[in-house]
Structure 1
Amino acid sequence: MQEPLELCYCQAARRSARFLSRMYDRHLAPVGINIQQLSILGAITHNPGLLIADLADRMVMERTTLVRALKPLREAGLVMSGASGTSRSLALTVSRRGHKVVADAMPLWEAAQHEFETQFGSGNAATLRKEMQKASALA
């Protein structure tokens, strides 16, 4: 008989996420960032001036969790923030140094993508990504 948690969608997704995060983090280690940080930098790079609340929504993260994740990026000079108009919201931008880190990270990210596709099968990987995107859109 199978353990109940082996049937749990959340547990399966978390195990898979931890496995993938470790793999991507191993590839990204030479540039000194992890996959979560690259995802944050990428989102801001493609949406300069993005508000923290909007980035949290986009990444399906709690705002406080995102603020903690942004702290080392700010301290490293990769992300800058400034007031957005008359609101109390902070608008985020990637610094020149941050753009360089992203550019240096992309070939490493592509290597991680390739490793996963090789291990899992490129068709399976594409299907999995599509289905996970559908699931996260339920939020």
Structure 2
Amino acid sequence: MLACLNNPIRKAAYIDLSMTDLLFTWTGLKAGRFYNQGLPIDPDLLGEPHYGVFKTKDHKYVALGVIEDHFWEEMCEYLGWDDFLCDSNFNTYLQRFERRSVILPRLRETLSRIEQDQLVNDLLSMGVPCSWVHSAWVQPGSLSFE
């Protein structure tokens, strides 16, 4: 990207940036703690209340990308979290971020009772951003790279 910005000849440039390349760059920085130092990867590293990777009933993992309020509402409806839906302290992302210590343990516990395929298929059918997490070594061309 910097090469495009610093090119005095071109007025415009097409940049093809793979999200997968970016993912491996970011993941490598975090995974280095584990592979090089033997330190555990902190599951709350980013501290996001409903964005991250979570273990399911069948000991697999799902990735959730629930940031926007309407995704939060859909997820809460699916999980039966009427108390959070009715509580005005959880209406906005910033409010939920402040209460992540309440949300994260409950989310982990709730998702640990649902199998991976059921959870991902159900949430995707509701438009909630999520996906299967297969492995860090998944081959290009697999569903993980769609």
Report the structure number with the largest CA radius of gyration.
Answer: 2
TM-score, normalised via structure 2 length = 0.27
Greater helix proportion: 1
TM-score, normalised via structure 1 length = 0.28
